[in-house]
Amino acid sequence: MTAALVIGAALVATLALLAGASWFGRRLDRVEADLAGAPVPLRSRLGWLLSTAASGAAAAFGLAGACSWVAVTHFADLHDTALLAAMVVATGVAELAAVLVLVGGRPSRLALARPGLRWVAYGVVGAPLILGMSAGWEALLSALGEPPEPQDVIRVLGGLTPLTKAAGALSIGVVAPLLEEVLFRGAWFARLEPQIGPQRTIVLTGLCFGLLHMSSPWAVPILATMGLGLGWLRARSGSIWPGFLLHALNNTIAIVLVLSES
C-alpha cells in the first residue's frame, strides 16, 4: 500500500465522517425538537445523550487506532514522529466529528462568548493550582513505590527533532486544549445542561474528560478533578475561554517541564 493511497483513503474517510456527523447532528436537533413538549424520563434523556457521546468516543478510538497502525506498519522509518502525527490528527478529526454531532444546527452551543476579566483571572490562577495538585499526587505515588510515567504523547516529544518537537508542543499545548474544550465544555455541555442540569453536567463531563486520558491511568484522578473545575468555569462564565486558558497553560507548562528534564 503506497503512502499516496493511504493518505487519499484517510482524506475520503475523514470527509465522509465529518459530513455524516453534521447530518446526524441536525437530525438530532429535529428529534430533540419533537420531544420538547413530551414528558421524557430523565433516564431516557441521559441514555440518549450518552449514546451520542459514545459514538464520538468510538470514532476517536477507532480513528486513532487505525492511523497509529498505518503509521507503524507503513511509515516505520519515521517511527515516533509518524505515530505522534497520527495520534494528533486522528484525535482531532474524531473530536471535530463529535462536535458536529453535538452542535447540530446551533453554533451558539459552542459557548464562544467573551468572558469577563474575573473569569480570565480564574483561568490563569487555576493552572498552577492543578499543576501543584499533580505534583503532590506524583510525589505520593513515588513514595508508595509507583512513580508515574509522563503521558505517552508528551513522552514521545523528547525524542523528536527540534522542529517536530515545536509542532508537537503547539498541538498539545494549544490545539488539543481548544478541541477538548469545544467538545466537552462547549458542544456536549450545551446538549446535557438543559436535560440534566448544570451540576450533573459538570460532574459527567468532568469524569469523562478524565477517562479520556486512560493511556496514563495515574493521571485520571487529577484530570477528572481538573475537568470539574473546567466545567464550573464554563457554567459560571458562560464561555469556554477561561477553561481553555487554564487547560492550555497547564499543558504548556507540563510540556516545558518534561522537555527540560529530557
pLDDT digits (tens, 9 = 90+) for 150-165: 665 566 666 666 777 7
Grid cell listed for 69 = 497502525
What's the pLDDT band for 77 if we cut at 50, 70, 90?
very low
Average pLDDT over residues 62-77: 48
Over the chain, what is the mean pLDDT?
75
> pTM for the complete prediction?
0.75
List C-alpha distances in Å: 104 to 195, 209, 230: 16, 21, 23
Give 63 or 164, the one with higher predicted confidence.
164
Q: Which of 99-108, 110-119, 230-239 has the highest mean pLDDT?
A: 230-239
Flag the least confident range among 153-162, 172-181, 216-225.
153-162
Which residues have a Cβ under 8 Å from the Cβ of 106 and sit 6 or more positions away? 29, 190
Query: Residue 146, SS3?
Result: coil
What's the pLDDT band for 78 if we cut at 50, 70, 90?
very low
* pLDDT exceeds cutoff 50 at 222: yes
Domain ranges of the chain: 1-105, 111-262
What's the pLDDT band for 198 if we cut at 50, 70, 90?
very high
Q: What percent of the chain has pLDDT over 70?
A: 60
pLDDT digits (tens, 9 = 90+) for 25-49: 777 666 666 555 555 555 555 555 5
Alpha helices in the chain (DSSP H): 3-35, 42-74, 80-103, 117-143, 152-157, 162-170, 176-180, 189-196, 198-211, 220-237, 241-261
Long-range contacts (CB closer than 8 Å, 24 or more residues apart) made by 245-248: 245/120, 245/123, 245/124, 245/127, 246/122, 246/123, 246/124, 246/126, 246/127, 246/130, 247/177, 247/180, 247/181, 248/173, 248/174, 248/177, 248/178
Q: Are 121 and 237 a contacting pair, CB within 8 Å?
A: no
Q: Are 86 and 152 a contacting pair, CB within 8 Å?
A: no
Query: Residue 119, SS3?
Result: helix
